[in-house]
Structures are given as C-alpha cells and as structure tokens.
Structure 1
Amino acid sequence: MESLDQTLFIWLNAPEHPSAFTLALAIFSAEHLIWAAPLLIGIGWLRGGEATRKTMLIATASGLLGLLINQLIGLVWSHPRPFMIGLGHTLIPHVADSSFPSDHLTLWWAIAFSFLWQRNLRIAGKALAVLGILIAWARIYLGVHFPFDMLGAIAVATLSAWLTLREARWYLEPGYQFATGIHQRIFGRLIALGWVRE
C-alpha cells in the first residue's frame, strides 16, 4: 500500500518547474480556500434563523470532532510527509508532522458532509464536497500530502459528520443557548439597530 501511495503521489505531484497559473491555483486551493468554510458558517449564523444556526453548530461540531480524531490518529501512528522522506517536489513550507489524515481536508469535508446530510443545505454541501477535491489535489501537487492522506480524511470526515448529526440531542440545545448568549453580547448594539439578527 505504501508503494502504491508513493507512486500515486509522484504522478500527482508538481513537476520541478510548474506553470505559474497551475502553481497559483494550487497555492490558493491548498492554503486559502479553507477559510471559506468558517466564513460560510459565520454568514449562516449571522443571517439565519434558529434552524440554520443549529445546522451551523452541527457542522462546526463535525469539523472539530474530525480534527480531534486526526490528532488521536497522529499520536497512535505518525506517518511522514513526502518531503520528510525526500520524495517529490515541495512547493510550500510545512511543519514536519504526521501527514495522515489531512487536517485541511478533514475539516472541509466534515463540514461539507454535515451540510449534505441536512435537508436545508444539501446544495451547499455538494458544492463544498466538490471543492474538496480541488483542495486534495492541491495539497498533493504542492508536496505536503500523500493521496492516501486524503482517503483517510474522507473516512474521518464521514465518521465525524455522522456522529455529530446522530448525537446532536446531547449537545445541540445547550450549545445553541451558549452560542446565542455570546452572539447577543458581541452584537447587542447591532441587533438593537436591526443590522444583525437577534
């Protein structure tokens, strides 16, 4: 399996001198696109009603659980990144920590899958899931992940989205009350002016 993973990596990794456009697209996808996920959740919270806000909380819980699972996997089994074994071309700096599973993709797909499994956000979930493929390609292309790191991210993201949706009864209502209290403290004046939903 390791040999197949490395072979696929070499096939997808950037050449020594990539085109400027492809490199720019990869860097944007690998390093900056991830910020769209918390931005979407923030907009959903600020503009949505109670049902939408609870959906955003479930998606947030899914992403956080996915990252926690990844940390536990990294403690149990540390897998080197390509540049740590001198493989391929690395075009962005990255700390030399465990590569499996990809944190970026786990967070992204955990939110995407959470949206997919909730009726009111299926279209957004599909769009995020497809964009996740671009993130996966970019992080392999730039030399900081192996392809199997992305398969691991799919598995963890699926598990975390399923668990947080299935067990929402345990945390959603108190989490919603807590988040609403913080929201009202931060945006109290804007709520009074009618600029932000209560």
Structure 2
Amino acid sequence: MESINHTLFLWLNAPEHPNAMVLTLATFFAEHLIWVVPLLIGIGWLRGSEALSKAMLVSTASGLLGLLINQAIGLAWLYPRPFMISLGHTLIPHVADSSFPSDHLTLWWAVAFSLSLQRGPRIVGQALATLGIPIAWARIYLGVHFPFDMIGAATVATFSAWLTLRESRWYLEPSYRLATKIHHRLFGKLIALGWVRE
C-alpha cells in the first residue's frame, strides 16, 4: 500500500520547475481557500435564521471533532510527510508533523459533509464538498501530503459529520443558548441597527 501511495504522490506532485500559473492556483487552493470555512460559518450565524445558525453550530462541532480525531491518530501513529523522507518536490513551508490524515482537508470536508446532511444548507455543503477535490490535489501537488492522507481525511470527516448530527440532541440546544448570549453581548449595537440577526 505504501508503494502505491508513493507512486500516486509522485504522479500528482509538482515537477521541479512548475508552471507559474498552476503554482499560484495550487497555492490558493492549498493555503487560502480554507478561510472560506470560518467566513461561511460566521455569515451563516450572523445573518441566518435560527435553523441556519444551529446548522452552523453542528458543522462547527463536526469540524472540531474531525481535528480532534486527527490529533489522536497523529499521536498514536506518526506518518512522515513527503519532504520528511525526501520524496518529490515541496513548494510551500510546513511543519514536520504527521501527514495522515490531512487536518486541512478533514476540517473542510467535515464542515462540508455536515452541511450536506442537513436540510437547509445542503446545496452549500455539496458545493463545498466538491471544492475539497482541488484542495486535496493542491496539497499533494505542493508536496505536503500523500494521496492516502486525503482518503483518511474523507473517512474522518464522514464519521465526524455523521456522529455530530446524530448526537446533536445532547449538545445543540445548550451550545445554541450559550452562543446566543455571547452573540447578544458582542453584537448588541449591530442588532439594534438591524445589521445582524437578533
């Protein structure tokens, strides 16, 4: 399996002298697109209905659970990144921590899959899930992940989305009440002006 992982990585990894436009696009997908997740959750919370706000809380829980699972996997099994074993070309800096699964893609897909499973934001979730594919490619192309890291991320994200939605009855209402109190305290003036929801 490891030889397949390495072979697929070398096939997808950037050449020694990559095309500048492809490199720019890959860097955008690999490093900058992730900011869509907190932005989307923030807008959904500030401007959406109660149902949408609760959907954002569930998707946030999914993302956090996914990252927690990844930390446990990384502590139990340190799988080196390609540059740690001098394989391929690495075009962006990254800390030398465990490669499997990809935290970056786990967070993205855990949120996307969670939204996809919920009635209101399903289309947004499906769009985000599709955007995860070029993110996965970019992380491999730039040399910081193996292809199997992305399969691991998809597995963890799927489990996280399923579990946090299934068990939402245990945490959703209290976390919604707490988040609403914080929301009113932070955005009281903007609520009065009608710029954000009450």
What is the one-letter code of the residue matched to 2:24? A
2:113 corresponds in structure 1 to: 113
Alignment partners' CA distance in 1, 2:2 and 2:25: 28
Rounded to whole Å, the distance in 2 between the matches of 1:194 and 1:117 is: 30
The aligned residue for residue 169 of structure 2 is: 169
Name the counterpart of 1:7: 7
Letter in 2 for 1:44: G
Task: Note the residue ranges of structure 1 that are not aligned, 5 or more in a row.
Answer: none
Residue 100 of structure 2 is matched in structure 1 by 100
Corresponding residue for 1:155? 155
**Could you report, residue by residue, the CA deviation over 1:132-154 in whole angstroms, capped at 9, with x for unpaired residues?**
00100000000000000000000
- Following superposition, the deviation at residue 36 of structure 1 comes to 0.3
Tell me the equivalent position of 2:183.
183
Is 1:57–2:80 an aligned residue pair?
no
Aligned-partner Cα distance in 1 for 2:193–2:121 = 29
Unaligned runs of 5+ in 2: none
The letter of the residue matching 2:168 is A
**1:196 Cα deviation after fit:** 1.4
Distance 2:43 2:6 in 1: 40
Q: Within 5 Å, which residues of 2 pair with 1:12-161?
A: 12-161=12-161
TM-score, length-scaled by structure 1? 0.99
Q: Distance in 1 between matches of 2:116 and 2:110?
A: 10
Aligned-partner SS, 2:3: helix
CA RMSD of aligned residues (A): 0.5
**In 1: Cα distance, 2:73 partner to 2:31 partner:** 23
Tell me which stretches of 4 or more aligned residues in structure 1 moved more than 3 Å.
none
Work out the CA distance in 1 between the residues paired with 2:114 and 2:29: 21
Distance, in Å, in 2 between the alignment partners of 1:57 and 1:172 is 7
Aligned positions, number: 198
The alpha-carbon deviation at position 78 of structure 1 amounts to 0.5
In 1, distance between residues paired with 2:32 and 2:194? 32
Alpha-carbon offset, residue 193 of structure 1: 1.6
String of CA shifts for 1:77-121, please: whole Å, max 9, x gaps: 010000000000000000000000000000000001001101111
TM-score (norm 2): 0.99
How many Å apart are 1:194 and its aligned residue? Answer: 1.5
Opposite residue 50 of structure 1, the aligned amino acid is E
2:121 partner SS: helix
Structure 2 Cα separation of the partners of residues 193 and 134 of structure 1: 40
Distance of 1:195 and 1:14 partners within structure 2: 45
